[in-house]
Structure 1
C-alpha cells in the first residue's frame, strides 16, 4: 500500500502514525511497569499482548473515542476469554474443543457489523494466549490484572493521545437528506411544480451521500439493534423519497389529477414532516407533530383519488407518483423516530407492519433474527467462521501433540494470514514467510550481538515497536511479519534469557501456521465470496421475479389489503448484500467487464418496497384491459429476471440460456378507462423496475463467465463499491 491512502478509511499515513504511537505508548508503559516496577513477568506479558491484540491485530474502525467505546464493551469479554483459556489449556483436547467453539463464535460475531468484526481477531488472540504453557491456573489473577492494566492504558491513549477529528455520522447525513427533501417539497408545491436543475442536482447528491461506502465503517448503521435498523431504514427511505421527487411527473393541465389545493396540501405536509425529522435526527428538536398530519393528509389524498378516477394516463401517473412521495415520506419520518427514540417511538397501526417489523422488539430477539439469518452454509459470515475455527483448532492440535515451542505464534500466523480466498491466502503467505525469514535473520544477528544485555532490549523496544506498527499497515504483510519478529524477540529477551535460536523457532511457527491457513483455505470455500455471490444474486433475481408476478396478480384481482410474505425476498437480499460486501474486499480473479451486482440488488429493494406498498393497501380489481397491460408488463420483467438469474448462477463453461425474451410490455399511455389508483401505482412500479432490469442487462451478458487471468498477471483489487444498504 502506498502513502496516498484516504485518512477517512483509517489507513492513511497520518492516521497510521497516530495509532502506532498510541499502541506503542500503551504497550510499552504497561509492560515496563509490570515487569520492572512490580516484578510481575506474567502480568507484563498479558499487559503487552492485551494492547497488541486489541490495537494492532484488531481493526476497530472509527476515531479514538469510538474505539474506546468498543474497548470498554469488550473488556469483560476479554476477562472471560482469558479465564476460559487458562482452565481449558491443561489438556490438549479441551483446548482444541474450546478453540473450535470459541473461534467460531468470535468469527461469527461479524454479523453484528464492522465494529464487532474489527474487534474479533484481538479477542481471538486473548483466548489463544493462555492456551499454551505454562499451564498455571494459579496465575489467573495476575493474567487478568495485566490484561486489564494494558487495556486501561490503551483506552486512555485512544481517548487523549492525538485524537482524530470525527467525520460526518450516518445520522447527520440522513438529517441532511431529509432537509433537502423538505426544500424540494416546498419547491414542488409552487409553480411550475417541478424541481429546478440546481435542486435536482442537490437531491441526487444528498441521496448519494447516504451510500454506505461514503461513510466510515464505524458510523454505518450495520448492527442488529432497533436503532441501527431504523437508521438504515431512514437512509433508504430518504434516498427513495428524493428519487421520487426528482422523477415526479409535471402536473397535466387543466385540470390536475387531484384538486390543486389537495396536491399542495400533500406536498406541504411532506415538507413539514420531513423537516421535523431532519431536526430530530440532527438533535435540534424533539417534536414530530407534523408526522401525524402527514399520515392523515396521505389517507385523504388516497381516498380522493379513489373517488375520482383519472381520465388520462398522464393524470393517473402524476397522482400515483404523488402518493408514492407521501408514502416514502411516511416511511422516513417513522424510521427517523424509531432511530432516535427506539422502543419509546410510537408507530401507528396504519403503517404497514411488515415494513417496520422490528419496532418494539427486544434486543435479544433482534440479535437472534440476525444470527439465525446467517446460520447456514450460504452465508459468507458462516463460511468465514467455520474456516478460521477449523484452522485454529488444527494449529492448536499440532502445537499440543508435538509440543511446538511458542506454539501460539503458529496460531497467530493462522489468525493474521488466513484470507477469505485460497489464492489470496497463498499470496499473503508467500510474502509473510519472506518477511519473517528476513526479520528472523536480522533478529538472530541482533540477539547474537546483544546477548543478555536486557537494558539494550528495553531501550530499543519502543523504537522497534513504533516502527513495526507504523510501517506494517502501510508497506504490507511482509514488512509487518518481519518487524513483528523483531518485536517479539525483544519482548521475550526481557522475560527470560534467549539465544539466536528464538528466531529459528519463530520461522518454524510461522511456516506451520501459514501452511495450516493455506490447507484450510483450499478445503473450505476456496473461492471466497465470488461463487457465493453468484448463487446469492441468482436466488435474489428469482425471488424478485416471483414477487413481481405475485404482486401484479394480486393487484389485477383486487381485494382487501394484507401483510405480504416477503421474508424469502428479504433473506435473499441480505445474503446477496453480505456476499457483495465481502467480494469488494477480495482481489479480482478475472479480466473484462464485471457483473453489475449492485443493479440487481437495487432492483431487489425496489421490488420489496413497491410490493409492500401495493399489497398492504388493497383495492378493487383494475379491469380486463388494464389487467392485461399489467400482466404483460410483469411477465416480461419476470422472464428477464429469471434469465439473468440463470446467467448469474451458471458455472463457467455452461452454455448461455436459450430462447427469445418477451418485450417488457406495451406502453400504457392510452385511455385507462375506469380503474383504481392501484393500477397507476402498479404501472409506475413496473415502469421503474423495467429501468432497473435494463440497467442489469445493459452490458449484454453481465453474468457470463469472464476470461481467466494469465498466471503472470498480477492481482488487481476490485474497484470501490458497497452493498445497496448496510448489511
Structure 2
C-alpha cells in the first residue's frame, strides 16, 4: 500500500506479541490479553520515537523501560509472558531515524499488527480451555463436603476411596499441576482470594482425611453438628465458586456450631455459665478427658479451614463486594484497592533477594549496554543486537553460555543461507514478499520446537526477507545480522556472569532458609503468648513479632520457587538431582502458610489462660518445633552446610509423643496449640521427603 513504515511496525508488532512473547492460555485468552496491551504498545512506541533524538536519551529510556517491563512479571504469568514482546516495541522506534512526523504511521501499523494478531488468535486458535482454578477449587470443596458428611453420620469414618479422592483433589490445587494461565498469581483482590481459597481447601481436605473415626463410634451431637455445618459450607462454597449465591447462611451456621463446641471444650468454673470465666484466671479442669479435648481441637481447626475457604471463595467471586463477613487480619487485602495491592506486590519484591528484581536488573543493564554500544558505534541494524540480548540472556551463567553457542551456530547457518538467497534473487521484492509468509509459518513452527539454534537461524533469514523489501539488499545484510547477534550475545553473557550468575538455585535455598527462620520466631512468640500468665497475647495477629517479616519471606520463597521451576535445562535438572536430593520445596512453603494461619487462630479471642503445667508444656513444645525449624534452616542456607545434610525430621510416633502429652487440667486451647505444633513437625518431615506421619491412635470416640 506504499506505507513501508506502517508495514514494518505492523509486522514487528505481530512478531513481538505473537512470536517473541509467550503469553499463556487459550487462543481467545491470548487475544484478550493482546487487545488489553494495545494502549501499552502505543505508549512504548511513542516514548521510543521521542527519545530516539539523542543516544543518551534513548539509553536512559532503555534502562527505565527495560527494568519496568521486566519487573512487571511480578503481576503474574501474563505480564511476564508479554514482557519480551513489549520490550521489542520500545526497541524498534528507539533507533534512528529520529522522525516524530512518522509517529502516526508507526502507531497505525502497531495497531494493525496487534488487532490482526488478536483476530487470528481468537479464530484460528479457538481450542477448548483447560479446567479453571475456580472449578478445581469447587471440586475440592465438594469433595470436602462429602468427607464431612460421611464423618458426621454412621459409620462415622472415611473409606480408602474417599481418602484417596481427598488427596487427589488437594493435589489438583497445587500450582505445579495447574496450567500457567490458570494460576491465580496476580496482585488483585480476586487472584489473592482465589489463591487463599485453594490453600484453605487443601488444608481442609488434609485435616478431614486425618480425622478418622472408627465404625460405630458416635462422635456426639456437638461434633456431628460441626461436621454437618462444615459439609453445608463446603457445598455452598462450591456453588459460590460456580457463580452461585454467597455462602452467608452456611458460614453463620458453622460459626455458631464452632462457638458452641469451643465453649463446650472450655470447661467453665463451677457455678458460672459455660465459657464465661474471666480471662485473667486459669480455667479449671475441663469436663472432658484429654483425648476428647484433642479431638475437639482437631474439629475446631477443620471449622477454621472451612470458614477461611468460604470467605476466600466469596472474595474470589465478588471482590471488594463480597457479602460474607471478612476478618481483615487474615484477609488484609479485602478492602484494598488495586493500586495499593500493586504497590504492595512491587514493594515486596523491591530488593536484591527477589528473583524478579534480579532478572529485571540483569536484563535492563544488558539492553542498556547494547543500546549504548549501538549508538556510540552507529551499529547498523543495532536493534538486532538488542533482540539477540533479549532472547539469549538467561538466569544462570551455564544457561547463557550454552544458549549463546547454539544461537551463534544457528545465526551463522542462517547468515550463509541469507547471503545465498540475496545473491540469487537480487532486488526482486516480489519474490521476498511471496516467500516471507511461507518462511514465517515454517520459522515460527519449527523454531520453538527445535530450540534456540534453529530459532535464531530461521529468524535471521526472516528479517532479511523483511528488510530486503524496504531497501536494496546486498549479501552484507547477512554479515551485519551475524555481527549484531555476536555483540548482543557477548553483552548478554557478560551481564549474566556479573549479575546473580546462578539464577534461582541459591536464591531458593536462601529464601527457604529465611522463611524457616522467620517461622521459628513466630512459633516461639505464639507459644509464649499462649503460655503467658494471663492467657492473653502480648500482641495479636499482625502485631506478633516477625509476622509481617514471615509474610514477606513466604512471598519471596514462592517467587524463587517459581523461577527455579522455570529453569528446566538438562544442566539445571542434573544440579537438582546432585545437590537437592529428595527436597520437597512445596512443603517448605506450606510450613510458612501453616505457621501464619495457626498463629492467627490461636491468638483470636476468647483467650483462655493455661495452668502452670500446661503453660510449661506449651512453651517447651514451641521451643522444640522452633529448634527443628532452625536446624533445617541452617542446612538450607547457601552459606552453611550442603543441602544433603538437611536433617531428616522423623514423623513417627516417638517424635510426636511429646505433642500427645496430657497435662492435668489443661484446657482446650492447650490441645489446639499442641495440634498446630504437631502439624508443623509433619511439614518439617516432608521437607526432607520422608513419609507423612501415620494416623495416631488417640483412643477417642471421635478419632483414632
Corresponding residue number in structure 1 for 2:557: 576
Cα distance in 2 for residues equivalent to 1:208 and 1:220: 14
Match of 1:291 among 232, 239, 251: 251
Tell me if structure 1 keeps the 8 A contact 2:151–2:213. no
Q: Deviations over 1:259-283 (max 9, x none)?
A: x222222111111111111011012
Q: Give 3-state SS (helix, strand or coil) of 1:499's partner.
A: coil
Residue 306 of structure 1 pairs with residue 266 of structure 2: yes
1:545 aligned onto 2:520: yes
1:628 CA drift (Å): 2.6
Contact 1:646–1:657 (8 Å) recurs in 2? no
- Counterpart for residue 384 of structure 2: 409
Q: What's the CA shift string for 1:65-122, capped at 9, x where partnerless?
A: 1111211111000000000000100100000000000100000000000011011111
Structure 1 position 389 matched with structure 2 position 364 = yes
Deviations 1:683-727 (A, max 9, x none): 111111122222234579xxxxxxxxxxxxxxxxxxxxxxxxxxx
CA distance in 2, matches of 1:67, 1:659: 45
Distance in 1 between the 2:332 and 2:240 partners? 22
How does 1:342-491 map onto structure 2 within 5 Å? 342-348=319-325, 351=327, 353-491=328-466
| 1:8 matched residue in structure 2 | none
Q: 1:649 aligns with which of 613, 616, 637?
A: 637
- Which of 196, 209, 224 is the equivalent residue of 1:233? 196
How do residues 153-168 of structure 1 correspond to structure 2 at under 5 angstroms? Answer: 153-168=116-131
User: What is the distance in 2 between the residues matched to 1:545 and 1:139?
Assistant: 61
2:12 is aligned to 49
Q: 1:617 to 1:252 in 2, by over 3 A?
A: farther
Corresponding residue of 1:9: none
SS of the residue aligned with 2:541? coil
Cα-to-partner distance string for 1:12-48 (whole Å, 9 max, x where unaligned)? xxxxxxxxxxxxxxxxxxxxxxxxxx21000000000
Bigger drift between 430-439 and 575-584 goes to: 575-584
Q: How far apart are the structure 1 equivalents of 2:108 and 2:35?
A: 15
Q: How far is 1:617 from its partner?
A: 3.0
Indicate if the aligned counterparts of 1:436 and 1:478 stay in contact, CA closer than 8 A. Answer: yes
Aligned-pair CA distance for 1:146: 0.4
Report how far residue 216 of structure 1 moved: 1.2
- Residues 1:615 and 2:636 aligned together: no
Q: 1:262 aligns with which of 222, 233, 255?
A: 222
Residue 634 of structure 1: how far off its partner (Å): 2.0
Change (3 A) 1:344 1:658: closer
Partner residue of 1:717?
Answer: none
3-state SS of 1:495 partner: coil
**Aligned residues of 2:154 and 2:216 also touching (Cα < 8 A):** no
Answer yes or no: is the 8 Å Cα contact 1:251–1:318 preserved in 2. Answer: no
Relative distance call for 1:286 and 1:652 in structure 2 (3 A) is: closer
Cα displacement (A) at 1:396: 0.3
Superposition deviation, residue 659 in structure 1? 12
Q: Which residue matches 2:695? A: none
Q: Which residue of 2 aligns with 1:588?
A: 573
**Pick from 681, 702, 705: which aligns with 2:672?**
681
1:214 paired residue number: 177
1:627 aligns with 2:602: no
Does 1:98 pair with 2:86?
no
RMSD over aligned Cα, in angstroms?
2.3
Query: Does residue 516 in structure 1 map to residue 487 in structure 2?
Result: no
Which range is displaced more, 263-272 or 144-153?
263-272
Q: Would the aligned equivalents of 1:413 and 1:514 in 2 still touch at CA under 8 Å?
A: yes
The CA deviation at 1:581 is 1.0
Distance 1:253 1:391 in 2: 69
1:559 aligns with 2:522: no
Deviations 1:558-585 (A, max 9, x none): 5346324321111111111111111112
Q: 1:168-179 residue pairs with structure 2 within 5 A?
A: 168-179=131-142
1:375-414 deviation digits (Å, cap 9, x = unpaired): 1111011110000000010000000000000000000001
**Unaligned runs of at least 5 residues, structure 2:** 269-285, 692-704
User: What CA distance in whole angstroms lies between the structure 2 residues aligned with 1:249 and 1:475?
Assistant: 52
SS of equivalent residue, structure 1 residue 588: helix
Task: Kindly state the Cα deviation for residue 636 of structure 1 after the two structures are TM-superposed.
Answer: 2.0
1:708 corresponding residue in structure 2? none
| 304, 307, 319: which one aligns with 1:330 | 307
What displacement does 1:183 show? 1.1
Report if the CA contact (8 A) 2:22-2:81 is conserved: yes
The equivalent residue for 2:502 is 527
Contact 1:250 1:318 in 2 (8 A): no
| 1:554 to 1:286, Cα distance in 2 relative to 1, 3 A | closer
Give the distance between the partners of 2:94 and 2:254, measured in 1 at CA: 60
Kept in 1: contact 2:62–2:367 (CA 8 A): yes
**Matches of 1:437 and 1:632, distance apart in 2:** 67
User: 8 Å contact 2:635–2:647 — kept in the other structure?
Assistant: no
User: Is the alpha carbon distance of 1:444 and 1:365 closer, same or farther for their aligned partners in structure 2, counting shifts above 3 Å?
Assistant: same
Q: Distance in 2 between matches of 1:390 and 1:641?
A: 38
Q: After the TM superposition, which segments of 4 or more aligned residues of structure 1 sit over 6 Å from their partners?
A: 251-255, 652-663
The structural deviation recorded for 1:461 is: 0.8
The CA distance in 2 between the partners of 1:72 and 1:698, in whole Å, is 45
Give the whole-Å Cα distance in 2 for the aligned partners of 1:197 and 1:364.
47
The 3-state SS of whatever aligns with 2:474 is: coil
Partner Cα separation in structure 1 for residue 524 and residue 97 of structure 2: 65
Note closer, same or farther for the CA distance 1:441–1:141 as it changes in structure 2 (3 Å cut).
Answer: same
Shift of 1:666: 4.5
Q: Give TM-score, length-normalised by structure 1.
A: 0.87
Residue-by-residue CA offset, 1:129-163 (whole Å, 9 max, x unaligned): 00112221110000000010111101111111141
Tell me if 1:87 matches 2:50: yes
- The Cα of 1:348 is off from its aligned counterpart by 2.5
Partners of 2:640 and 2:466 lie apart in 1 by 51
Shift of 1:236: 0.5
TM superposition score normalised by structure 2: 0.90
Aligned to 1:696: 687
* Residues 438 and 81 of structure 1: CA distance in aligned 2, closer, same or farther (over 3 Å): same
SS of the aligned residue for 2:335 comes to: coil
Q: 1:97 to 1:670 in 2, by over 3 A?
A: closer
CA contact (8 A) 1:559 1:618 kept: no
Map Cα deviations across residues 634-678 of structure 1 (whole Å, 9 max, x no partner). 222211211111111143778999999999574354544222211
Q: Within 2, Cα distance between the matches of 1:269 and 1:656? A: 46
Check 1:400–1:670 CA distance in 2 against 1; reply closer, same or farther (3 A cut). closer
